[in-house]
Amino acid sequence: MSRREKPTPARQALIELTGITKTYGHGEGVVHALDGISLRIDKGEFAAVMGPSGSGKSTAMNIIGCLDQPTSGSYLFDGVEVSRLDRQQRALLRRHYIGFVFQGFNLLARTTAVENVELPLIYRGIPHAERRPLALQALAKVGLAERAMHTPGELSGGQQQRVAIARAIVTEPALLLADEPTGNLDTKSSVEIMELLVALNREQHITVVMVTHEPDMAEYAGRIVHFLDGRIASDTRSEEAA
């Protein structure tokens, strides 16, 4: 029996930032939130972003998520120069390719879990009849199928964050951006959220970029990028990932 060697697939960049700067204000009050960041993240990676408060992590995440635009520099998303897109095209890129998870969950109160998860499908113009099954599938992926009809107030913090993750992945994004997703959670819930993000990365092939203050949580990522004063101070891959 002959065994043919499988060629290792070439790594493909999903995110390519080159010389990105972001400046707020002007004159004496000027803040260089990002001071020339170059960073490439390949499809399928799970990268953690760390660094002290004010080092530019959220600014970088907002640019990567096309929620904000850099002052200068180039940002290629899957080979597309984002600065060449107009507002509407950037919104489309966001809706179709990027999911967001935040520290504060950002769920609509008095609205059931499944309705929260359906929201991005409404923005994408998916007909009513198709939304419910897709939202229920996403809730099942985060292990919350039985809580579909509960409102956020009836769920624990960890469960609320899982609903937020279901909402982020219901559109099957290429990229999941999480800004301190475990910042409001106890250790046990934090570990559950990290295990869920790892599973989504490995099994659904979603590229994940996550900001965290906690070294224990960053360990779940295959790569840790440290920000300092609007620059990248270090960028290391774990041995397992390499």
> Which positions lie near ligand ADP, rule CB under 6 A?
24, 31, 33, 51, 53-59
List C-alpha distances in Å: 25 to 29, 33, 71, 233.
Answer: 6, 10, 11, 24
Q: Would you say 31 or 134 has its CB closer to ligand ADP?
A: 31
In whole angstroms, the minimum distance from the beta carbon of 139 to ligand ADP comes to 29
- Strands 31-42 and 13-24 come out as antiparallel
In whole angstroms, the minimum distance from the beta carbon of 39 to ligand ADP comes to 14
- Which of Mg ion, ligand ADP, none interacts with 51 (beta carbon under 5 to 8 A by kind)? ligand ADP
Q: Would you say 25 or 54 has its CB closer to Mg ion?
A: 54
- Which of ligand ADP, Mg ion, none interacts with 33 (beta carbon under 5 to 8 A by kind)? ligand ADP
Please give the biggest Cα pair distance in the chain. Answer: 73
- Which of Mg ion, ligand ADP, none interacts with 93 (beta carbon under 5 to 8 A by kind)? none
In whole angstroms, the minimum distance from the beta carbon of 142 to ligand ADP comes to 25
Look at residues 135, 133, 129 and name the one whose alpha carbon lies nearest to residue 163: 135
In whole angstroms, the minimum distance from the beta carbon of 179 to ligand ADP comes to 7
In whole angstroms, the minimum distance from the beta carbon of 23 to ligand ADP comes to 9
Q: Would you say 191 or 228 has its CB closer to ligand ADP?
A: 228
- Which of ligand ADP, Mg ion, none interacts with 67 (beta carbon under 5 to 8 A by kind)? none
Interface positions with Mg ion (CB under 5 A)? 57-58
Q: Which two tokens stand for residue 126?
A: 């998916």
Report d(CA 175, CA 209) in Å as an integer.
8
Look at residues 45, 88, 40 and name the one whose alpha carbon lies nearest to residue 64: 40
Q: Would you say 71 or 236 has its CB closer to ligand ADP?
A: 71
- Walk across the sheet containing 223-228 and list its strands: 98-102, 175-179, 207-211, 46-50, 223-228, 231-237
Q: Would you say 195 or 215 has its CB closer to Mg ion?
A: 215
- Strands 231-237 and 223-228 come out as antiparallel
Residue labelled with tokens 């092939």:
205
